[in-house]
């Protein structure tokens, strides 16, 4: 074997080195290379597109959504499918980036030839997918939180929003917290639309109860270490720290806040308390943490029990967090087409609007003016589990009936009581 | 701004910096001697955390995990060096770079397949999990104090090993002129092998130490790897004092940025890197001539 020379004088310039290292580091940061799969043209089964942020800080919740959507599709197929056709769920990874979400949606529409769309987590992703769907007049069932999606600019006859929105969430959780906890509130806000809207919503509801806003810190989405945010929060001496973030950000915030002793003097409150984050952080970290949710699997309600049993059978675990949105949203979309009797966006809208339903957790209602699903919000407290996944207890229910938690149609730029026909393609 | 807050901020920055230091030391020691840019370093960090999680699940003992994680990842590093990286010595620097980049993807995928993509809970040992009261209104986790002290000890041991032992002397000589060392009858292959093992073990150690603080999931090493490359570039590629100084510096800079303009906390370390490269192209402690 020839004597091998090491590094020095090997003719690698710093420039070349940084170039290759930079490219590789960039690719690593973007989650590696990926290859676009060519898909066949539509024939036979009805394809339901479902872009989700499977990789990235919301990956765990996205997987839960995927499982929920798959369960709904399986149930519809068992009952004869949609208009006699089998339904096929086609999932794509958006990597939690809006441009990627738009590309994936476009690919699903143009190459995969999906005929209905659902999916997404994070507001920017949803709006990007919604935009693509509106362009071609395809019904889209959005299954995660967003304020904009029901506002005049983004809402359309094709757009449906099964999930809660930051406004509803904060009205419910804020009202509840203002009556139970102290009045000095500090906000830790994820620095993008979702976080801003949560904080705005809490400020709005806080004002009604004489809450004092003692400070806000914004953090970049996907922060791994929150410790450097805590000294300022501790110095502000709040009664309540409102954690307006999601996914691994929530997990890391609470895990680290607990180790920094924040809970000794401050109540931690999450507008969207996640079982996934709670499971990833452990019992001790979440002890005493309170928050809101759209659904919790141990809920004592007939449709909830049925949904949880079916989900458990298919996945070997109960649904956590966002599976319910996907399950219910996909059922609404597919059963809506069956009720309409044809695959037509206008007929579907008529079949869904003003409908009362209870797919998995209690009474819901489709408001015609903005296609928002009216629903209750539950208040949870973290507890010591008796078995795995038994992580929260429901300590209160804030009723959403009579549009109590929704913004008014007028406020959103719609005519009250009139079905939304914005953007209808003739 | 309250003076106490700034003091607290420096401490959180220090504990953040210590993880950078451990990882950057591993990267630097491997690069300095082997000229291998180890892209699998972030995944080794992740593996360290996972070995820790499962050791604690089986034995319930954090201290056992603290020993097994670096040991396990170190052994893995030995295997990688012997059978995958060694055949590439003497070729262009990009060969081992691409190899370790591929390894990183494989290592992440293996964990995804066997342990899923969700987070794994991991707590600090009971002894270290209580928050210590500081200055009346603040608390600082005992675990982070331990992290700072423990990393300082590791740095000292590493310094002692490299500067005061015979083996350390050989390693340092090998960095300067491997051909000459070889001519003196020393098997450099063995030295490189050992150094790669030590570097990997440091990554594993950083992983287990980070596990009680951060979430443990397959992609946890990706962002960390990028940040640690910034640390090694700022400190000077291959320089151990550089890795230590730059790690602590960037930890504190990023922590102080959080205080004044938190939205910049992610980006500020790249700004520091840009400025350092403009003023000192080979980094703070970079040896002129390496990679030129």
> In this structure, are A278 and A321 located in the same domain?
no
Question: Are A219 and A306 within one domain?
Answer: no
- Chain B, 181 to 220: residues with Cβ < 8 Å from chain A are 182, 212-217, 219-220
Tell if the CB–CB gap between B254 and A228 is shorter than 8 Å.
yes
What's the confidence (pLDDT) of residue A37? Answer: 36
Domain stop point among A293, A308, A333: A293
pLDDT of B289 over the 70 cut: no
Query: A259, B213: Cβ pair inside 8 Å?
Result: yes
pLDDT tens per residue across span A373-392: 999 999 999 999 999 899 99
Q: How confident is the model at residue B128 (pLDDT cuts 50, 70, 90)?
A: confident
Total domains present in chain A = 2
Nearest to A281 among B121, B265, B292 (CB): B121
Whether A98 and A128 map to the same domain: the answer is yes
Domain of residue A279 covers 167-293
Q: How many helices, marked H, and strands, marked E, lie in chain A?
A: 14, 15
For residues B214 and B16, the answer to whether their CB atoms sit within 8 Å is no
Which structure tokens are listed for A319?
């649904």
Residue A160 in domain: yes
Residue A50 domain-assigned (yes or no): yes
Residues 6+ apart with CB under 8 A from B167: B161, B194
- Contact of B89 with chain A, judged by CB distance below 8 Å, is answered with yes
Last residue of one domain, picked from the residues A293, A322, A338: A293
With a CB cutoff of 8 Å and minimum separation 6, the contacts of B14 are B148, B248, B251, B252
pLDDT of residue A14: 56
- pLDDT at residue number A300: 93
pLDDT at residue A6, rounded to an integer: 41
State pLDDT tens for residues A162-219: 999 999 999 999 999 999 999 999 999 999 889 999 999 999 999 999 999 999 999 9
A227 and A209 within one domain: yes
Can you tell me the distance from the alpha carbon of A129 to that of A122, in angstroms, rounded to the nearest whole number?
11
Residue A395 falls inside a structural domain: no
Q: Are residues A111 and A61 in the same domain?
A: yes
Distance CA A257, CA B261 (A): 20
Residues on chain A touching B129 (C-beta within 8 angstroms): 259, 284
ipTM confidence score: 0.85
Domain match, A176 and A268 both? yes
Over the stretch A6-62, which tens digit does the pLDDT of each residue have? Answer: 434 444 555 655 666 666 555 555 544 443 333 333 458 999 999 999 988 888 899
Digit-coded pLDDT (tens) for A105-157: 999 999 999 999 999 998 899 999 999 999 999 999 999 999 999 999 999 99
pLDDT at A23: 61
Its sign, for the CA torsion A238, A224, A297, A162, is positive
Segment A389-410 mean pLDDT: 94
Q: Which pLDDT does position A269 carry in this prediction?
A: 97
Look at residue A291 in the predicted model and tell me its pLDDT.
96
Residues A70 and A88 in one domain: yes
Q: Is residue A306 part of a domain?
A: yes
Out of A266, A293, A320, a domain closes at: A293
Mean pLDDT of B177-200: 92
What pLDDT, on a 0 to 100 scale, did the predictor assign at position A19?
62
**A177 and A273 fall within a common domain:** yes
The pLDDT tens digits of the residues spanning A208-253 come to 999 999 999 999 988 888 999 999 999 899 999 999 999 999 999 9
**Domain boundaries in chain B?**
19-220
* A32 φ/ψ sector (left φ>0, alpha ψ -120 to 50, else beta): left
- Is B162 an 8 Å CB contact of chain A? no
Rounded to the nearest 10 degrees, what angle do helices B220-235 and B188-210 cross at?
A: 120
Over residues B101-109, mean pLDDT: 95
What was the pLDDT predicted at B174? 86
pLDDT at A8: 40
Residues 6+ apart with CB under 8 A from B104: A28, B39, B40, B42, B43, B221, B225
User: Across chain A, what does the average pLDDT equal?
Assistant: 90
Number of A to B CB contacts under 8 A, please give it: 190
- CATH code for the domain of A263: 3.40.50.2300
A73 inside domain = yes
pLDDT in tens, B5-51: 888 899 999 999 999 999 999 999 999 888 899 999 999 999 999 99
Minimal Cα–Cα distance from A401 to chain B, Å? 35
Q: Is residue A381 part of a domain?
A: no
Q: Write down the mean pLDDT value for chain B.
A: 91
Give the pLDDT score at A44: 86
Is-contact A24 A282, C-beta < 8 A?
no
Which pairing describes strands B138-141 and B131-134: parallel, antiparallel, or unpaired?
antiparallel
What share of chain A has pLDDT > 90, as a percent?
80
- Tell me whether B259 touches chain A (CB under 8 Å): yes
pLDDT at B177 over 90: no
pLDDT (tens digit per residue) in B274-284? 999 999 988 89
Q: Which of residues 222-241 of A touch B (CB under 8 A)?
A: 222-225, 227-232, 234-235, 237
Least confident of A81-95, A289-303, B127-141: B127-141
In a domain, A187, yes or no: yes
DSSP assignment of B144-179: HHHHHHHHHHHHHHHHHHHHHSHHHHHHHHHHH-HH
């Amino acid at each position: 074997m020839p004597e091998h020379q090491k590094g020095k004088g090997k003719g690698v310039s710093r420039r070349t080195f940084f170039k290759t290292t930079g490219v590789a580091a960039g690719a690593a940061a973007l989650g590696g290379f990926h290859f676009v799969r060519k898909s066949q043209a539509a024939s036979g089964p009805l394809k339901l597109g479902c872009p989700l942020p499977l990789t990235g800080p919301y990956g765990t919740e996205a997987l839960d959504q995927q499982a929920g959507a798959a369960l709904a599709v399986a149930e519809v197929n068992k009952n004869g499918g949609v208009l006699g056709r089998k339904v096929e769920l086609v999932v794509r990874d958006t990597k939690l980036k809006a441009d990627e979400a738009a590309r994936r949606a476009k690919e699903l529409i143009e190459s995969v030839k999906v005929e209905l769309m659902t999916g997404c987590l994070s507001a920017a992703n949803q709006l990007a997918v919604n935009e693509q769907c509106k362009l071609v007049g395809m019904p889209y069932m959005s299954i995660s939180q967003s304020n904009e999606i029901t506002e005049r600019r983004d809402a359309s006859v094709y757009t449906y929003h099964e999930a809660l929105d930051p406004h509803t969430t904060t009205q419910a959780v804020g009202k509840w917290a203002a009556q139970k906890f102290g009045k000095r509130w500090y906000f830790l806000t994820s620095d993008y639309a979702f976080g801003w809207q949560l904080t705005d919503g809490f400020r709005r509801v806080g004002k009604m109860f004489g809450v004092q806003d003692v400070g806000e810190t914004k953090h970049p989405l996907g922060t791994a270490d929150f410790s450097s945010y805590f000294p300022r929060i501790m110095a502000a001496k709040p009664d309540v720290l409102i954690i307006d973030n999601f996914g691994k950000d929530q997990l890391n915030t609470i895990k680290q806040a607990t180790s920094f002793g924040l809970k000794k003097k401050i109540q931690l409150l999450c507008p969207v308390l996640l079982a996934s984050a709670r499971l990833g952080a452990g019992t001790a970290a979440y002890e005493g943490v309170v928050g809101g949710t759209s659904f919790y699997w141990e809920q004592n309600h007939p449709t909830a029990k049925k949904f949880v049993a079916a989900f458990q059978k298919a996945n070997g675990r109960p649904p956590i967090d966002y599976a319910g949105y996907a399950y219910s949203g996909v059922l609404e979309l597919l059963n809506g087409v069956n009720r309409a009797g044809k695959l037509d966006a206008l007929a579907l809208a008529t079949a869904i609007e003003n409908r009362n339903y209870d797919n998995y957790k209690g009474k819901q209602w489709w408001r015609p003016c903005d296609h928002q699903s009216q629903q209750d919000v539950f208040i949870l407290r973290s507890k010591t589990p008796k078995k795995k996944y038994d992580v929260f207890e429901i300590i209160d229910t804030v009723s959403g009936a009579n549009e109590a938690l929704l913004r008014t149609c007028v406020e959103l730029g719609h005519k009250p009581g009139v079905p939304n026909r914005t953007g209808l393609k003739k | 701004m309250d003076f106490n807050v700034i003091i607290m901020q420096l401490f959180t920055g220090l504990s953040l910096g210590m993880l950078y230091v451990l990882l950057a030391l591993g990267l630097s020691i491997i690069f300095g001697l082997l000229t291998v840019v180890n892209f699998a370093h972030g995944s080794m960090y992740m593996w360290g955390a996972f070995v820790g999680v499962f050791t604690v699940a089986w034995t319930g003992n954090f201290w056992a995990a603290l020993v097994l994680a670096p040991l396990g990842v170190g052994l893995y590093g030995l295997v990688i060096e012997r059978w995958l990286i060694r055949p590439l010595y003497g070729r262009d620097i990009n060969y081992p770079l691409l190899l370790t980049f591929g390894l990183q993807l494989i290592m992440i995928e293996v964990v995804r397949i066997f342990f899923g993509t969700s987070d794994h809970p991991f707590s600090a040992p009971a002894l270290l999990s209580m928050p210590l009261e500081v200055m009346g209104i603040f608390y600082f986790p005992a675990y982070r104090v331990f992290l700072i002290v423990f990393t300082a000890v590791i740095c000292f041991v590493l310094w002692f090993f490299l500067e005061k032992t015979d083996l350390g002397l050989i390693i340092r000589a090998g960095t300067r002129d491997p051909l000459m060392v070889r001519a003196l009858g020393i098997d450099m292959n063995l030295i490189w092998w050992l150094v790669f093992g030590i570097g990997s073990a440091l990554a594993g150690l950083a992983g287990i130490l980070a596990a009680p603080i951060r979430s443990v999931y397959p992609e946890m090493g990706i962002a960390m790897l990028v940040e640690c490359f910034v640390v090694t570039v700022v400190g000077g590629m291959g320089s151990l004092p550089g890795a230590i100084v730059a790690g602590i510096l960037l930890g504190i800079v990023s922590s102080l940025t959080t205080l004044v303009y938190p939205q910049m906390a992610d980006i500020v370390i790249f700004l520091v890197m840009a400025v350092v490269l403009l003023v000192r192209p080979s980094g703070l402690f970079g040896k002129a001539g390496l990679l030129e």
